[in-house]
Amino acid sequence: MTINELLRVEHLTMRFGGLVAISDLSFSAAQGEITAIIGPNGAGKTTVFNCLTGFYKPTVGRLTFTVQGKQPVYLERMDGFRIARAGIGRTFQNIRLFPAMSVLENLIVAQHNELMRASLFSVAGLLGLSRYYDAENEAIELAKKWLDRIGLISDADRQAGELPYGDQRRLEIARAMCSKPALLCLDEPAAGLNRNESGALNELLRDIRDTQGIGILLIEHDMSVVMNISDHIVVLDYGQKISDGFPTVVRHDPRVIRAYLGEEEDYDVDAVQPGLPC
Amino acid sequence: MTAVFTAFKEAGLASLVAFLLALPLIGFRTNTTGTGLNFEFRWEALVVSVVIVFVGRCVLTSTRGLWQQSRLHLPSFGYLRSVIDRRRVSFAVIVVLVALLFPFMPEVDRRAIDLATLVLIYVMLGWGLNIVVGLAGLLDLGYVAFYAVGAYTFALLGTVYDWSFWGCLPIAGAVAAMFGVLLGYPVLRLRGDYLAIVTLGFGEIIRVVLTNWVALSGGPNGIAGIPRPTLFGLEFTRRTREGHSFHEYFDLPFSGDHRITFLYYVILILALVTNVFVLRIRKLPIGRAWEALREDEIACRSLGINPVNTKLSAFALGAMFGGLAGAFFASRNGFISPESFTFIESAIILSIVVLGGMGSQIGIVLAAAALILLPEALREFSEYRMLVFGLAMVLVMLWRPRGLLAHRKPTLTLYPSGSRTLK
Ligand SMILES: Nc1ncnc2c1ncn2[C@@H]1O[C@H](COP(=O)(O)OP(=O)(O)OP(=O)(O)O)[C@@H](O)[C@H]1O
Ligand SMILES: [Mg+2]
């Protein structure tokens, strides 16, 4: 157990009718670390995220989320938007931006709750009180900082839906970061990126981990990304955890190799071309 | 060769359809004679209409390529748009100035002012519904219910308790907003089509209740003798009980035009307040959250936005403006009955929003003017009125499928428009 454990998942089970998408999964994620969840298609990775962020109600399980200096909260029966307020930000496997809104607006909407409070639920905003404008300017500054970081500052006023795919992926991460989460959940952020973009993404994630002091939970298909940047890996197969530990340990775990490539026991993960999805 | 063949084939099919439709619609005419009704078979008219369809279809098919090329160069509002964008403020000022001076312009008579008042009621309703449909993306087919609630609230308070228009106006708005919350709370979990059907039902329920609850609403007979708005207590009647009438106070000869003009200014102010409110709130967090919800509700939840409360606020505010417009409508007419609040009203208001270009304030003014004035102008051809109306709608939707002035301006920008250097 790490001292600064952020998230603890215990005995998580999710059934859809007869289908058991996750069965008895337990793991934990720590602050200041990148925890990767990997596994073949349909292993249940996205379902774990959906349980964590309140989009599915788990059949069984306890999900404890503890931000440093605050009371633990139990996510399994909370509404999605309350979980977000408690400090879990996420991105989606199939990008979900606000396509008709501008890039900047996407990042401002992410700061909705703070701005709403500053505008006294719109009253101060309608009256044009300076207290609201100060908060709005702060929000814009934060958005600018992230736009700079992901290299989209010159596209700030463009429609988010017009951006190229790779930029949309990064914008979604920046948007999640603007909601100031303590735990950032990324669902296959490298999917569909070329090798340059994928490299830049690694840099960005490491940078977020090191400078923001938050925990990152990362679903990834791309082995090269996972092995490179994660501090801790959880491997799922058919909804069950088959391995859990440091990347160096997991990559040589025979059960992992079998799950990824059938029975070829002598397969070495290093042989896989970086950038190729497994 | 094959092109000619397909053209003829299509034209043949079209004229067959035209024939089948025209046979009962155009082919027969009933005449009243001394002894009763008889049928007249108008085969010439039938042939003429089929030939028109055949030739028209041939021309359309053979010029299709041309049409598609020219489509790009068809007049669009691009030019107007750029003018509006470049001097947005001055354009808005001009529109408001014209509206302010309208009653004093030459050639503007009582009837014109009255019509302009009617248009402004719909502009206000359009701007109110725009919050719900254009910004929050909730399809509301029963908006007229809130209009009715506002109208009846004022009509009852005004006739039973003799309360004044200005005192009742906020109450009417608040009651309508409350109805918005009451309806919204259970139904806003529904999406798209389901929401549309439930709101449609709600609109009808309100009308049916008003028709049948005779003790409260007077049933189909409606409520008459609703008080008129006053100017700081001055009435617009020839003689008043206390001798406080507008013309006496200002030593003017009595004229019915004063009241018409006054009503025009009242609705102009109400509409402008609505407009300023919508423009401002769009740039506040709540307004951006509405638009974000319209774009992607799941993403909103992942950012900590409470979808139910946010939608409810849009619904309630939209309802409030409907209620305010309703109170004005009751006061202007002096008489209301459930007949004024049928589904067709909801449909017209929704058409104004859709036609104007969802979310565009000035587009709604244009659409309201077109939808209200066109039927008036076509009064002489009243037989064909709905036909022309429908045709115009279809053409606009073909030509500008996203509405006359659909163009979204960001609520905040980093750069002055068109450039990429920081402000
Ligand atoms: N809402 C749902 N209803 C029914 N079955 C579901 C639902 N969501 C997921 N599943 C099933 O749960 C299993 C796990 O799906 P999940 O999307 O979590 O996989 P994944 O690991 O994210 O796969 P991928 O790598 O393809 O994204 C699949 O068999 C899927 O069909
Ligand atoms: Mg997935």
Which tens digit of pLDDT belongs to each residue from B135-175?
Answer: 888 888 999 999 999 999 999 998 888 888 888 899 999 99
B351 domain residue, yes or no: yes
Q: Do B414 and A144 touch (CB under 8 A)?
A: yes
B195 domain residue, yes or no: yes
Residues of chain A with CATH 3.40.50.300: 1-87+181-278
How far is the centre of ligand 2, averaged over its atoms, from the C-alpha of B265 (Å)? Answer: 59
B317 domain residue, yes or no: yes
How far is the centre of ligand 1, averaged over its atoms, from the C-alpha of A57 (Å)? Answer: 14
Ramachandran sector of residue B219 (left: φ over 0; alpha: ψ -120 to 50; beta: rest): left
Q: Is the CB of A169 under 6 A from ligand 1?
A: no
Using CA atoms, how far apart are residues B168 and A197, in angstroms rounded to an integer?
Answer: 62
Q: Report yes or no: A100 at the B interface, CB cutoff 8 Å.
A: yes
Chain A hits for B289, CB-CB cut-off 8 Å, are 109, 112, 116
Tell me the shortest Cα–Cα distance from A260 to chain B, in angstroms.
31
Ramachandran sector of residue A121 (left: φ over 0; alpha: ψ -120 to 50; beta: rest): left
Q: Report yes or no: A97 at the B interface, CB cutoff 8 Å.
A: yes
Could you tell me if B317 and B369 lie in one domain?
yes
Q: Is the CB of A21 under 6 A from ligand 1?
A: yes
ipTM for the complex shown: 0.88
Could you tell me if B267 and B317 lie in one domain?
yes
**Which sign, positive or negative, has the C-alpha torsion B183, B186, B189, B194?**
negative
Using CA atoms, how far apart are residues B149 and B322, in angstroms rounded to an integer?
Answer: 9
Domain A1-87+181-278, classified CATH 3.60.21.10, yes or no? no
Q: Report yes or no: A80 at the B interface, CB cutoff 8 Å.
A: yes
Residue B304 CB partners (closer than 8 Å, separation 6+)? A81, A82, A84, A85, A112, A113, A179
Backbone angles phi, psi at A186, to 5 degrees: -115, 120
Residue A205 CB partners (closer than 8 Å, separation 6+)? A34, A186, A189, A216, A218, A229
| Closest CA to ligand 1's atom 11 | A21
The answer to whether A122 and B285 are in contact (CB under 8 A) is: yes
Q: Which of B243, B320, B251, B249 shows the shortest CA–CA distance to B281? A: B320
Using CA atoms, how far apart are residues A40 and A261, in angstroms rounded to an integer?
Answer: 10
Using CA atoms, how far apart are residues B304 and A88, in angstroms rounded to an integer?
Answer: 9
Using CA atoms, how far apart are residues B299 and B295, in angstroms rounded to an integer?
Answer: 9
CA A212 from centre of chain: 14
Could you tell me if B132 and B42 lie in one domain?
no
Average confidence score pLDDT of chain B: 82
Number of H helices, E strands in chain B: 18, 4
The answer to whether A58 and A13 are in contact (CB under 8 A) is: yes
Q: Which of A162, A166, A139 shows the shortest CA–CA distance to A150? A: A166
B82 domain residue, yes or no: no
Which residue type sits at B112? Answer: A
Could you tell me if B5 and B150 lie in one domain?
no
Using CA atoms, how far apart are residues B195 and B141, in angstroms rounded to an integer?
Answer: 9
B420 domain residue, yes or no: no
Break chain B down into helix, strand, coil percent, rounded to 5: 70, 5, 25
| Closest CA to ligand 1's atom 3 | A16
Q: Is the CB of A43 under 6 A from ligand 1?
A: yes
B168 domain residue, yes or no: yes
Could you tell me if B60 and B134 lie in one domain?
no
Q: Report yes or no: A107 at the B interface, CB cutoff 8 Å.
A: no
pTM for this predicted structure: 0.81
Predicted confidence at residue B423, as pLDDT, reads 44
Instruction: State the total domains in chain B.
Output: 2
| Domain CATH code at residue B278 | 1.10.3470
Could you tell me if B53 and B135 lie in one domain?
no
Could you tell me if B211 and B306 lie in one domain?
yes
Using CA atoms, how far apart are residues A42 and B192, in angstroms rounded to an integer?
Answer: 30
The answer to whether A189 and A216 are in contact (CB under 8 A) is: no
Predicted confidence at residue A69, as pLDDT, reads 83
Predicted confidence at residue A276, as pLDDT, reads 42
How far is the centre of ligand 2, averaged over its atoms, from the C-alpha of A73 (Å)? Answer: 25
Q: Report yes or no: A200 at the B interface, CB cutoff 8 Å.
A: no
pLDDT digit of tens for each residue in chain A (278 aa)? 445 888 999 999 999 988 989 999 999 999 888 999 998 888 899 999 999 999 999 999 999 998 888 888 999 888 989 999 999 999 999 999 999 899 999 999 999 988 888 777 777 767 767 777 888 888 999 999 999 999 888 888 888 999 999 899 999 999 999 999 999 999 998 888 888 888 888 889 999 998 888 999 999 876 667 888 888 999 888 888 888 888 888 888 888 888 776 544 444 444 444 444 44
> Which residue among A37, A41, A46 is best mutated to probe the pocket of ligand 1, counting the most ligand atoms within 8 A of its Cβ?
A46
Give the domain range for residue B20.
1-66
Q: Do B298 and A116 touch (CB under 8 A)?
A: no
B116 domain residue, yes or no: yes
Could you tell me if B15 and B121 lie in one domain?
no
Could you tell me if B224 and B139 lie in one domain?
yes
